[in-house]
Structure 1
Amino acid sequence: MAISLDAQLKGVAILGPLSPEACKILTKEATAFLALLHRTFNPTRKALLQRRVDRQAEIDRGQLLDFLPETRHIRENDAWKGAPPAPGLVDRRVEITGPTDRKMVVNALNSNVWTYMADFEDSSAPTWDNMVNGQVNLYDAIRRQIDFKQGSKEYKLRTDRTLPTLIARARGWHLEEKHFVVDGEPISGSLFDFGLYFFHNAKELVVRGAGPYFYLPKMESHLEARLWNDVFNLAQDSIGMPRGTIRATVLIETITAAFEMDEVWSDPVPQGDALTNQNMKIIYELREHSSGLNCGRWDYIFSFIKKFRHNPEFVLPDRSAVTMRVPFMDAYVQLLIKTCHRRGVHAMGGMAAQIPIKGDVKANEAAMESVRADKLREVRAGHDGTWVAHPALAALAAEVFNEYMPTPNQLFNRREDVRVMANDLLNTNVPGSVTEKGIRQNLTIGLSYMEGWLRGVGCIPINYLMEDAATAEVSRSQLWQWVRHNVNTAEGNKIDKAYALRLLQEQADSLGRKAPEGNKFQLAARYFATQVTGENYADFLTTLLYNEISSPSVAARL
């Protein structure tokens, strides 16, 4: 006997305001679907988050990561593949990314790119309005009804070409949506973002020739990928959609996930060399739903520092020295490409965060040349596409990929020359030093991002680079690490707690004086001060700050 809608809604409370637009998204049926996802999967989600804590404790005790044991015959089995590219995802040579505000959605879909990753995660501050209105904007964009006016300017979707394929990025497993409560617990931000987008748009997207496609962030193990796969299956079954219609690209942006990208494992077998014991399982867990992996470079650096922050052998120099060509980053890229192409799925490159520099031709030419060099590195390595943060970079990225990748992708480039061992992924031979300039740069990035986030803005232009949560995380983690291990700057200053806090306050005061009245730099500094002393360390800045932008209120009537 089917459970009535009223019974499904029992125990559900929406603690954010419901505007007419929000009501279009948070219907009773969609709300019941979210409740189903929460009740089915939240216990597993919480257990996996505890597994992260347990694993971190092991690393803190000195245990390094390694490829986990598996059976040789499964590792060497080339028979299984990921899903073939879905409609609209065969050619992904240039993808643009950005938040889901209405103006950004229109501009992104009007860009000369192949796909648009609409981001509910790192480039969005998860206020209730941002999350709900983002869903409204994507709902309207899919149905080509997103045109609007802002002052005297009119924004319209172009009609002279096929629009880029839409891919939505949900929040990570660690984040919650405190404005939506089921049986006394807040729903996972991941399930909230995925559930609303899928429920309202999956069938419409298929009718229009594509499908419900997603980016999945910040996973730390194949078990977290397995959870996503279970979510996908239940979602598709619940609306009568064939399994495999959903496709997901996983951002490999944690060091733990890098050890689990591809294959399966079983009971432990006798230890052999690292390649014999590889356990890279994320693609396998998502097989029929997999559309590849992506190099989330800044989050990966953040994870590298975070996981080994107590180990002095993993201290890194200024962020500017940690390029994609340093040993541990290069190994990560090569392994990701080989893994993807062995299994027939896309290996996507990383972000070009540059913003065109107006009024300084020489500086702009230098910036664009750095973008060109980065995209050339990616396409020559075997990547099937790349990311840009600004529409003006799309043509440059396309030019490079068009020249060196005349085919829709490079799945045929198996990279059988690549031999990556565990030690390669952990190689910290990074030349460079820690400078006061680097410290102040980290403070500026961290404070500026946090100040904007506290105002509900999830990506901030700083020195002609679009900075988001990932770069802010790198900045504060490096500062914590340098203080924790008593690093000296190149100028001879010992980086201790007093030194870090003094520079922090100087930067906060300077930034605050230059910003409009009512800015939140001092509030950001108070939070940031807890993260730069080598003592307390928040798992994520976003969870540290979330209560400041979350305001659950009296339950709305469903």
Structure 2
Amino acid sequence: MSTAPATAPARTAAAAVSADLGPTLHITGPRLARQDEILTAEAIAFLTELHHRFGGRRHDRLADRMRRRFEIGNGHDPRFRDDTAHIRDDADWRVAGAGPGLDDRRVEITGPTDPKMTINALNSGASVWLADLEDATSPTWRNIIGGQLTLRDAIRGELTHTSADGRAYRVTAEQTPTIVMRPRGWHLPEKHVEFTDRAGRRLAASASLIDFGLYFFHNARALIDAGRGPYFYIAKIESREEARLWNDVFSFSEEYIGIPHGTIRATVLIETLPAAFEMDEILYELRDHCAGLNAGRWDYIFSIIKNYRGRGARFVLPDRSEVTMTVPFMRAYTELLVKTCHRRGAHAIGGMSAFIPNRRDAAATEHALQKVAADKRREAGDGFDGTWVAHPDLVAVARAEFDAVLGERPHQLHRRRDDVEVTAAQLLDLRIGRPVTEAGVRENVSVAIRYLEAWLRGQGAVAIDGLMEDAATAEISRSQVWQWIHQDRRTQEGSAITVDHVEGLIRDALAQAARYEGDRFDDAAEIFREVTLRPEFPAFLTLPAYSRYLTDND
């Protein structure tokens, strides 16, 4: 089936605009096998149009984020917006809702888009596979283009994989999960693609537009023909204006290739503190394209720390392991999400269970599986329509808990949760009443460095100490350490958490690491120092790590 735009006039008109105004894309990444199947002239023309039309607005939205973060840091707490009260108060509007293949989302498996992980996900028995080009993918050029090729092959039933030891993998499931692809967030550049704008400036392209554009352009029609559709998870959104930008991207893209308006479906991760105050507004802006919201728990915790890192002792969180879904601010956020979604006909999808089963320790695995089951039982009982897991062995555990509540129903949209009332104060109630421990500080340092070392080698989802770590959990680890240092915290055992103290823990982590020739631990430690021990707080650790440390040879 052809992947070119549906009508020649649309393509010709788009090309004429670019010719008149001069914006162009330049591919600067190393040449890879089969890249011409993805980086076609037609696809590059489409990407150019996306950047021409939406690149400037993206920069405006990123500037808004900086202003908002500055305001919160200076004592202006987020609140429900007065200028959008009419949207929240209007009980009549609804979102588009589930597209074909998305009505039942009770178990979603997440993971990167390398061939082996893709095949595992498609054979997992989950309802949905979140094909992740964001936090679970290290954005080497090989991973980005390779991920697009993997998705292309999987959608057409052509994906196979042979491992280094000669084992062959293929998709064997009769019914595979519906694919929902997650592009990288608005804040991330794609340094291997440069965009020359109308002023002649040569800028790094938007990773969001590259990831979305390539996947949509090549696969939208094939997905529709298969009875599903081009579906996306949208990450790191902070406001209705950012949601409106995505909605305009979707509408333009549908028109460009000639498919009906509203064919695209997006599920938005509510994983930033500002977005928690604008759930209704985000749904409203995306209403023609929206399927639901997801409670992105790890990034949400990171966003809390990032925004309140300098606001005093009452905003300091304890050990990462103590910030569970049952603490007050997390309960308020998730209950508001379910209520908001169901009032608007949108699915509410629960958070990640990151546990990785260890077949060599049956007792520990059984204990952890009981905790996973309890977490999913709570979500199903709260009214969520589905949930996330990181490993195929957790699919059955999560499904059992949702089956017990949903029965034959595909979702719980009938549960309006009118009993829930959440205030701004409840969303900002960070009291947990637990200490920071020496073990907690040490764990954060060790996990972040080990994760970063793997990320620099091209692995974005890494099993560490029985949990699947990704960029979001690494962000929690480094931002907590930064905050503990700058808020002059002491551990429960009495140690002052200082730069010198953390330097000692970095040395310990390096000494305990399984070193080998060519490893990236020294670089990982340097990145950790840069994003944790300096006075400045980078908004995302992946920005300096990507621009200066992630090389094309990895």
TM-score by length of 1: 0.93
| SS at structure 2 position matched to 1:472 | helix
Answer whether contact 2:23 2:52 (CA < 8 A) is retained.
no
Equivalent-residue separation in structure 1 for 2:14 and 2:159 (angstroms): 36
Deviation at 1:326, TM superposition (A): 0.4
Which digits, 9 at most, give the CA deviation of each residue in 1:194-220, with x for residues without a partner?
000000000110010000000000111
Deviation at 1:22, TM superposition (A): 0.7
> Please, which moves more after superposition, 2-11 or 292-301?
2-11
Deviation at 1:552, TM superposition (A): 7.6
Answer whether contact 1:65 1:256 (CA < 8 A) is retained.
yes
Q: How does 1:101-500 map to 2 (within 5 A)?
A: 101-150=114-163, 151-159=165-173, 161-183=174-196, 184-262=202-280, 281-312=281-312, 313-406=314-407, 407-500=409-502
Partner of 2:52: 39
Which digits, 9 at most, give the CA deviation of each residue in 1:107-147, with x for residues without a partner?
10011110100000000000001000100000000000002
| SS at structure 2 position matched to 1:531 | helix
Q: Which amino acid aligns with 1:2?
A: A
Equivalent-residue separation in structure 1 for 2:241 and 2:287 (angstroms): 14
Equivalent-residue separation in structure 2 for 1:127 and 1:292 (angstroms): 30
Deviation at 1:445, TM superposition (A): 1.1
Partner of 1:543: 543
Equivalent-residue separation in structure 2 for 1:447 and 1:148 (angstroms): 30
Deviation at 1:460, TM superposition (A): 1.1
Answer whether contact 1:454 1:548 (CA < 8 A) is retained.
no
Quick one: structure 1 residues 250 and 486, their matched pair in 2 at CA, closer, same or farther if it must change by over 3 Å? same
- How many aligned residue pairs are there? 532
Partner of 2:5: none
Deviation at 1:2, TM superposition (A): 3.2
Residue 22 of structure 1 pairs with residue 35 of structure 2: yes
| SS at structure 1 position matched to 2:34 | helix
Unaligned ranges ≥5, structure 1: 263-280, 554-558
Partner of 2:8: none
Quick one: structure 1 residues 147 and 482, their matched pair in 2 at CA, closer, same or farther if it must change by over 3 Å? same
Which digits, 9 at most, give the CA deviation of each residue in 1:311-362, with x for residues without a partner?
1120011111111000000000000000000000100000010111112111
Equivalent-residue separation in structure 1 for 2:84 and 2:211 (angstroms): 37
Deviation at 1:483, TM superposition (A): 0.5
Equivalent-residue separation in structure 1 for 2:267 and 2:129 (angstroms): 13
Answer whether contact 1:216 1:250 (CA < 8 A) is retained.
yes
Equivalent-residue separation in structure 1 for 2:96 and 2:317 (angstroms): 38
Equivalent-residue separation in structure 2 for 1:7 and 1:67 (angstroms): 44
Equivalent-residue separation in structure 2 for 1:428 and 1:3 (angstroms): 50
Equivalent-residue separation in structure 2 for 1:549 and 1:145 (angstroms): 34
> Please, which moves more after superposition, 542-551 or 139-148?
542-551
Quick one: structure 1 residues 288 and 14, their matched pair in 2 at CA, closer, same or farther if it must change by over 3 Å? same
Q: How does 1:513-528 map to 2 (within 5 A)?
A: 514-528=514-528
| SS at structure 1 position matched to 2:349 | strand
Equivalent-residue separation in structure 2 for 1:374 and 1:205 (angstroms): 33
Percentage of pairs with the same residue: 49
Answer whether contact 1:96 1:391 (CA < 8 A) is retained.
yes
Answer whether contact 2:23 2:48 (CA < 8 A) is retained.
no
Equivalent-residue separation in structure 1 for 2:51 and 2:476 (angstroms): 31
Equivalent-residue separation in structure 1 for 2:450 and 2:343 (angstroms): 41
Deviation at 1:70, TM superposition (A): 3.7
Equivalent-residue separation in structure 1 for 2:160 and 2:270 (angstroms): 35
Q: Name which of 86, 95, 111 aligns with 1:82.
A: 95
Equivalent-residue separation in structure 2 for 1:20 and 1:78 (angstroms): 52
Equivalent-residue separation in structure 2 for 1:92 and 1:76 (angstroms): 28
Answer whether contact 1:128 1:550 (CA < 8 A) is retained.
no
Answer whether contact 2:272 2:304 (CA < 8 A) is retained.
yes
Partner of 1:273: none
Residue 60 of structure 1 pairs with residue 73 of structure 2: yes
Deviation at 1:73, TM superposition (A): 5.0
Equivalent-residue separation in structure 2 for 1:206 and 1:531 (angstroms): 43
Partner of 1:271: none
Deviation at 1:74, TM superposition (A): 4.1
Equivalent-residue separation in structure 2 for 1:164 and 1:546 (angstroms): 31
Quick one: structure 1 residues 387 and 520, their matched pair in 2 at CA, closer, same or farther if it must change by over 3 Å? same
Q: Which amino acid aligns with 1:316?
A: L
Q: Which amino acid aligns with 1:479?
A: V
Unaligned ranges ≥5, structure 2: 1-11, 197-201
Partner of 1:505: 507
Deviation at 1:507, TM superposition (A): 1.5
Answer whether contact 1:483 1:534 (CA < 8 A) is retained.
no
| SS at structure 1 position matched to 2:36 | helix
| SS at structure 2 position matched to 1:155 | strand
Answer whether contact 1:94 1:114 (CA < 8 A) is retained.
yes
| SS at structure 2 position matched to 1:250 | strand
Deviation at 1:20, TM superposition (A): 4.0
Answer whether contact 2:190 2:205 (CA < 8 A) is retained.
yes
Equivalent-residue separation in structure 2 for 1:67 and 1:483 (angstroms): 32
TM-score by length of 2: 0.93
| SS at structure 2 position matched to 1:288 | coil
Answer whether contact 2:449 2:521 (CA < 8 A) is retained.
yes
Equivalent-residue separation in structure 1 for 2:338 and 2:137 (angstroms): 28
Answer whether contact 1:449 1:472 (CA < 8 A) is retained.
yes
Q: Which amino acid aligns with 2:434?
A: G
Equivalent-residue separation in structure 2 for 1:144 and 1:224 (angstroms): 35
Deviation at 1:55, TM superposition (A): 1.1
Answer whether contact 1:481 1:534 (CA < 8 A) is retained.
no
Deviation at 1:18, TM superposition (A): 2.9
Q: Which amino acid aligns with 2:451?
A: Y
Equivalent-residue separation in structure 2 for 1:139 and 1:73 (angstroms): 42
Deviation at 1:532, TM superposition (A): 2.6
Q: Which amino acid aligns with 2:512?
A: S
Equivalent-residue separation in structure 2 for 1:502 and 1:100 (angstroms): 37
Partner of 1:276: none
Deviation at 1:529, TM superposition (A): 1.2
Answer whether contact 1:178 1:552 (CA < 8 A) is retained.
no
Quick one: structure 1 residues 36 and 500, their matched pair in 2 at CA, closer, same or farther if it must change by over 3 Å? same
* Alignment RMSD (CA, Å): 1.6
Q: Which amino acid aligns with 2:171?
A: L
Quick one: structure 1 residues 74 and 15, their matched pair in 2 at CA, closer, same or farther if it must change by over 3 Å? closer
| SS at structure 1 position matched to 2:531 | coil
Partner of 1:274: none
Which digits, 9 at most, give the CA deviation of each residue in 1:26-85, with x for residues without a partner?
000000100100111010000110111111111121111111104655433211001132
Quick one: structure 1 residues 551 and 148, their matched pair in 2 at CA, closer, same or farther if it must change by over 3 Å? closer
Answer whether contact 2:180 2:230 (CA < 8 A) is retained.
yes
Residue 2 of structure 1 pairs with residue 13 of structure 2: yes
| SS at structure 2 position matched to 1:231 | helix
Equivalent-residue separation in structure 1 for 2:393 and 2:552 (angstroms): 39
